[in-house]
Chains A and B, each alone.
Chain A
C-alpha cells in the first residue's frame, strides 16, 4: 500500500480522482432526481466533438472541449425553454451532431490514435500535473457553486412550481446545472473517459439514493460510493493491470446492486 502511494502518477491520479468523483456524485443526485440523467450522457458525446476540434486545431483538447460543452449545455437549455422541444430531444440532437462532427474532424486530422483513445476510454494514471490542477480547481468550483445554490436546487428539484412562487429563478438554476454538468463531464472524462463519464454522474448517485432518508445523507453516501469506486478502480488498475475506467464503473455498479438489495430488505422489514 505504501509503495503504490510513492509513485507521482498515482498521487496525481488519486487527488484528481477524489475531487472529480465528489463533484460527479453531488451533481448527479440533482440530475437523477430531476430525471435528467441523460444530460450527462448527451454532453459527453458533445465533448467528443470538442476533443476532436482541439486535436484538429492543435490546441489543448481539454480546454476546447470545455468551451464547446459549456456552450452546447446553454444552447440545449435554451432549446428546452424556448423551442418547445422535449428534454431528451434537445439532448439527442446535440449529442449525435457533436459525435458526428467529432468523427469528421478526427478523420480529417488523421489523429485516430492513442491520444484519442485516452479521451474515449479514460487514462487517469497518465494525468499530467497541469490537468490535475485544472481538474481540482474545476471540481472545487462545481462543489462550491452547488453549495451556494444548494437550498434553491433542492427546492427546485423537489417542487419546481412552488419554488417559482418563492421567488426562485428556476430557469437560471437549470442553466447553472447544465453548465456545471458540462464542466463535470469534461473533467470526468480524464477519469473514466468520454464513453463512461455519464456512469460516474449516474451510478454513485443512484446508489446513494437507494438508502438515503434525507438529501444530506444522499450527498454523503453518493460521494462515498463515488470516491470508493474511483480508488478501487485505481488500485485494481495498478495491481492487476486492468483498465481503471472499466473497474471504477463496475465497482460503482456492484455497490448500487448491494444498496438496492438493502433497500428491498428494508422494505420487507428484514433490515432496519
Chain B
C-alpha cells in the first residue's frame, strides 16, 4: 500500500479561494501534503474545513487557484483508485436503504474498473480482505442500516481502503460515535498510516484522542492559520487562542 517515499507532494494546493455567493469561505490557501503524512485539519465551526476537503477532491470548484492530486490537476485527475474518501456519513445514512455491507464495500472497487464496471468473482476476496481489516467480515451480508454508527463508519473505511489507496481523506469520521469506539477507530487509522504507509488527511474536532498519531496539523479559519508539526502547533499561542473552547487540546505525547 502507499506510494514510494518521494519529495513530490501527493496533494499540492496553491492560492485556493472559494466563496458561496458573496460569502468568502476560503482565501489564498497554500498547502502541500507529502507521502506518509498523517495530517489533521482543524478549525472553528464554519472555518471551511469540509469545503477545503471537497475542493481537494474536485467535488467543489474554487474560483481561484490550483489543486494537484498525485501530480495531476484535479480537473483531469483519473487515478481515483489511489484515493480513499470517508465522508461524514454514518449519522446521515438512510437506515432502510437496501444495501448490504458487501455491496457498499464493492462500490469502492468501481474506480479501478473500465466500462462496463461489472464485479468479478475475484473481487470477493478483495472485499473480504478489506472487511477483515476493519474486523467486520462476519457482517458482510447484513444490511448497512442494521449496524451501529461505529460499525457503519468502519464499513466506509473498508470501502475507502479496498483499493489499497495512497491517500485517505476522512471528514469527521467519528461524529456521533462514543469515546471507546473512537479510540479503536483512531488506533486502526494509526495502523493504516504506520504499517500500510497510507497518507491520511483527517478533519477532526478532537485533537486529544489523535494526539499520539498525527504528524502534522493544519488550522483553518477562512485562511490557513497554521500548518506544521504537532510540536510547533503546541508552541503557537495564536492558534491555541483561536481554538479555545472548540477543540480539546493536548500538548504532550505519551
Q: How far is the CA of A218 from the CA of B103 in the complex (A)?
A: 13
Contact of A154 among B58, B87, B99, B111 (CB under 8 A): B99
Asked whether, in the complex, the Cβ of A162 is within 8 Å of the Cβ of B99, the reply is no
Asked whether, in the complex, the Cβ of B85 is within 8 Å of the Cβ of A167, the reply is no
Q: Which residues 91-148 in B have Cβ within 8 Å of A in the complex?
A: 94, 96-100, 103-104, 106-108, 110-111, 115-119, 141, 143
A89 within 8 A of partner (CB)? no
Chain A, interface SS category? helix
Asked whether, in the complex, the Cβ of B115 is within 8 Å of the Cβ of A151, the reply is no
Q: How far is the CA of A119 from the CA of B169 in the complex (A)?
A: 52
Interface window among A121-129, A206-214, A223-231, A235-243: A206-214
B248 within 8 A of partner (CB)? no
Q: How far is the CA of A161 from the CA of B89 in the complex (A)?
A: 10
Q: Given the complex, which residues of A lie within 8 Å of B143, measured CB to CB?
A: 213-214
Contact of A167 among B78, B89, B99, B106 (CB under 8 A): B78
Q: How far is the CA of A163 from the CA of B98 in the complex (A)?
A: 17
Interface size on B, residues (CB 8 A): 32
Q: How far is the CA of A215 from the CA of B103 in the complex (A)?
A: 8
Asked whether, in the complex, the Cβ of A167 is within 8 Å of the Cβ of B111, the reply is yes
Asked whether, in the complex, the Cβ of A214 is within 8 Å of the Cβ of B100, the reply is yes
Query: How many whole Å from B1's CB to the nearest CB in chain A?
Result: 18
Q: Given the complex, which residues of A lie within 8 Å of B83, measured CB to CB?
A: 165
Asked whether, in the complex, the Cβ of A217 is within 8 Å of the Cβ of B98, the reply is yes
Asked whether, in the complex, the Cβ of A163 is within 8 Å of the Cβ of B107, the reply is yes
Q: How far is the CA of A15 from the CA of B249 in the complex (A)?
A: 68
Q: How far is the CA of A215 from the CA of B115 in the complex (A)?
A: 20
Q: How far is the CA of A152 from the CA of B143 in the complex (A)?
A: 19
A9 within 8 A of partner (CB)? no
A117 within 8 A of partner (CB)? no
A57 within 8 A of partner (CB)? no
Interface size on A, residues (CB 8 A): 24
Number of A-B contacts (CB under 8 A): 73
B51-92 vs A, CB cutoff 8 Å, 1 = contact: the mask equals: 000100111000000000000000000101101010101000
Q: Which residues 25-54 in A have Cβ within 8 Å of B in the complex?
A: 33
Asked whether, in the complex, the Cβ of B110 is within 8 Å of the Cβ of A209, the reply is no
Asked whether, in the complex, the Cβ of A218 is within 8 Å of the Cβ of B117, the reply is no
Query: How many whole Å from A6's CB to the nearest CB in chain B?
Result: 40
Asked whether, in the complex, the Cβ of B78 is within 8 Å of the Cβ of A154, the reply is no
Nearest-neighbor residue (CB-CB) of B85 within chain A = A165
Contact of A155 among B58, B81, B110 (CB under 8 A): B110
A113 within 8 A of partner (CB)? no
Asked whether, in the complex, the Cβ of A165 is within 8 Å of the Cβ of B80, the reply is yes
Q: Given the complex, which residues of A lie within 8 Å of B87, measured CB to CB?
A: 159, 161-162
Query: How many whole Å from A37's CB to the nearest CB in chain B?
Result: 15
Q: Given the complex, which residues of A lie within 8 Å of B96, measured CB to CB?
A: 209
Contact of B115 among A148, A159, A165 (CB under 8 A): A148
Known contacts A148-B116, A214-B143, A158 near B78 by CB under 8 Å: no
Q: How far is the CA of A149 from the CA of B80 in the complex (A)?
A: 18
Q: Given the complex, which residues of B lie within 8 Å of A214, measured CB to CB?
A: 98-100, 103, 141, 143
Query: How many whole Å from B215's CB to the nearest CB in chain A?
Result: 23
Chain A residues at the B interface, C-beta cutoff of 8 Å? 33, 148-149, 151-152, 154-155, 158-159, 161-168, 209, 212-215, 217-218
| A33-B94, A161-B54 known, 4 other contacts, Cβ within 8 Å | A151-B119, A158-B99, A163-B107, A168-B111
13 pairs, A vs B, C-beta closer than 8 Å: A33-B94, A151-B107, A151-B110, A158-B97, A162-B89, A164-B57, A165-B59, A165-B85, A167-B80, A167-B81, A209-B96, A213-B143, A215-B100
When A and B form their complex, which 7 residue pairs have the shortest distance between CB atoms, in order from nearest? A167-B80, A166-B111, A212-B98, A155-B107, A165-B85, A218-B98, A148-B116
